[in-house]
Amino acid sequence: MRIWLPPVLLALLLCGFSAGMPALEPLFEWVQPDKQSVIYDRESFLFLLQNHLLLVVISAFVGTIAAVAGGIFATRPSGQDFLPLVSQIASIGQTFPPVAVLALAVPVLGFGEAPILLALILYGLLPILRNTLVGLEGVDATVRQAALGMGMSPVQVLLQVELPLAGRVILAGIRTSVTINIATAAIGSTIGARTLGDPVIAGLVNGNTAYVLQGAILIGLLALTVDSLFEAAERVWDRRLLPQTAG
């Protein structure tokens, strides 16, 4: 249970800051003494946190399914020829700036959450796909052959041998992707999505440093919480995998 203590404490701290930000008004008045309003109040911080996290979770789920499926396909004998193409597609998603994706998507999808979801999915593909390829290709060929020799079908080998052994590496790729997208999601506020970027954008527009700090603190805490959660999950994965590999 100690493994889960850091993410739980960080989550409580994040929720506490989100709910109790108005109580810090004296502190932010010291930071920004020339402004009448120093606490962002156009939306509840808890609502912005919930919406921000929802965007990241949805994009991570879709991106993970697409990237892992692409990695599995590219490492099968029937898909080896497509490996360079799969890698290039994912690389384009990573090198194409999210702002450019928004600029192209808004005329088609309109303002709101849809364009930023598309940008987050594209931007998060490469780390997951790259780690999926590394993880699956790193499974010892003799292990596959032994599993096949025991009478397992190729699908059983994939699900019961390859993915469990590659899972730690794949999880690390998801961790990188999600952490990056927590920060990237904030730019969704520029096109009408409700995220923790709202106070940051409002602060930049109005010259209110207090607003910027409030958004930045919550985004940073969210990133630390999620990263800590993935670290705990990776440790649990390692502990469960060790008995299997030893056996």
- Amino acid identity of residue 201, one-letter, is I
C-alpha closest to that of 244 among 171, 172, 164: 164
The per-residue pLDDT for 247 is 46
The per-residue pLDDT for 11 is 95
Would the pLDDT of 241 be above 70?
A: no
Angstrom distance (rounded) from CA 76 to CA 72: 6
User: What pTM was estimated for this model as a whole?
Assistant: 0.89
Model confidence pLDDT, tens digit, residues 30-76:
888 888 888 998 899 999 999 999 999 999 999 999 999 999 998 88
Query: Are the C-beta atoms of 40 and 211 separated by less than 8 Å?
Result: yes
Residue, of 200 and 140, whose pLDDT is higher: 200
**Cα Rg of the chain (Å, integer):** 21
Quote the DSSP letter at residue 139: S
Domains of the chain, first to last:
2-246 (1.10.3720.10)
C-alpha closest to that of 37 among 207, 242, 231, 229: 207
**Cβ-based burial of 130 (10 A; exposed 0-12, middle 13-18, buried ≥19):** buried
177-200 mean pLDDT:
92
Q: Which residues contact 155 (CB under 8 A, 6 or more apart)?
A: none
**Cβ-based burial of 193 (10 A; exposed 0-12, middle 13-18, buried ≥19):** buried
Q: What is the mean pLDDT of the chain?
A: 88
Angstrom distance (rounded) from CA 44 to CA 46: 5
**Cβ-based burial of 150 (10 A; exposed 0-12, middle 13-18, buried ≥19):** exposed
Query: Are the C-beta atoms of 198 and 212 separated by less than 8 Å?
Result: no
Q: Give the 3-state secondary structure of residue 42.
A: coil
| pLDDT band at residue 94 under the 50/70/90 scheme | low
Quote the DSSP letter at residue 159: I
Cα distances from 125 to residues 65, 70, 137, 231, 242, in angstroms, run: 10, 10, 18, 20, 29
Angstrom distance (rounded) from CA 39 to CA 23: 9
Angstrom distance (rounded) from CA 40 to CA 56: 22
Residue, of 31 and 215, whose pLDDT is higher: 215
C-alpha closest to that of 85 among 68, 95, 71, 105: 71
